[in-house]
Amino acid sequence: MAHQQIIEQAIGMVAAQLEKQIDDEINHLDNLGEQDVAQIRMQRMAELKKKQEKSKEWLARGHGEYSEILSEKEFFDSMKGEERMICHFYRENWPCKVMDKHLGLLAKSHIETKFVKINAEKSPFLTEKLKIWMLPTLALIKNEKVEDYVVGFDAVGGKDDFESDVLATHLSNQGIIDLEYPARRPPAGAGAPGQTKNVRKGGFQKTGSDEDSDFD
């Protein structure tokens, strides 16, 4: 399917869900007169149009898919002009593959945020600058600045058989995705038992349960 068709389908999906929200709201406004209902519909339709245009812009910028960044320069280029971006620093191991699966699902549902990944072992400058020492690590980026990190699986229950909605809730609490954005929610994802790591905020904090650095 052509990229333009994918964009048009995604925008159509957002429009249909917003229209349903409008109708549901109006159906609950039994005590309002016709003029009030008409005004509310006009306001909400204006919001719909604005969100449609924003969705089109996001999709044109590569939102809606989970893509790999192949160089450190590309990391900075991808971040430029983005309000919200999640970058998964990964290596070829099982925990990172688990995280890949969930991020791939969330990227399709939350087009308001750009989702990317980069091989940490091939990005020595970034891993040193951002103090990435445990994988998987998610860098949560707002307005071209790394605001927070998620390291390992503690934020999702300390195990790797968590559901995508659990990760989505945590990311929403961090303000990096919007659970209210009208997009299809992902199906719950599950993995097999594996490793657990820690979560940091503001800086890395190694706990007694942590293993040695993945970069030794």
Handedness of CA 158, 159, 165, 171 (dihedral sign): positive
Reported as a single tens digit per residue, the pLDDT across 169-186 is 999 999 999 987 655 444
In sequence order, which residues have a C-beta less than 8 Å from that of residue 80 and are 6 or more positions away?
144
Q: Looking at residues 156-161, what average pLDDT do you find? A: 90
Q: Kindly tell me if the per-residue pLDDT of 124 is higher than 90.
A: yes
**pLDDT at residue number 172:** 94
* Averaged pLDDT score across all residues of the chain: 78
HEC profile of 45-72: HHHHHHHHHHHHHHHHCCCCCEEEECCH
What's the rounded Cα separation, in Å, for the pair 162 and 166? 7
Of these ranges, 57-61, 144-148, 157-161, 189-193, the one predicted with the greatest mean pLDDT is 144-148
Residue 159 CA, chain-centre distance (Å), reads: 20
**Helix 94-109 crosses helix 164-173 at what angle (to 10 degrees)?**
70
> Which residues on neighbouring strands pair with residue 84, listed in sequence order?
142
Reported as a single tens digit per residue, the pLDDT across 61-110 is 899 899 999 999 999 999 999 999 999 999 999 999 999 999 999 999 89
Yes or no: say if 86 and 138 are a contact pair by the CB < 8 Å rule.
Answer: yes
Phi, psi of 42 (to 5 degrees): -65, -40
**pLDDT at residue number 132:** 93
Residue type, 54: K
What's the rounded Cα separation, in Å, for the pair 159 and 171? 17
Phi, psi of 28 (to 5 degrees): -95, 0
CATH number assigned to the domain with residue range 66-173, chosen from the 4 options 3.30.750.24, 3.40.190.80, 3.30.930.10, 3.40.30.10: 3.40.30.10
Q: Taking the domains of the chain in order of start, what are their residue ranges?
A: 3-60, 66-173
More confident residue, 99 or 49: 99
**pLDDT at residue number 191:** 38
Q: What Rg value do the Cα atoms of the chain yield, rounded? A: 20
**pLDDT at residue number 90:** 97
Cα–Cα distance list, 21 to 16, 43, 146, 199 (Å): 9, 13, 34, 36
Tell me if the bond preceding 182 is cis, omega within 30° of 0: no
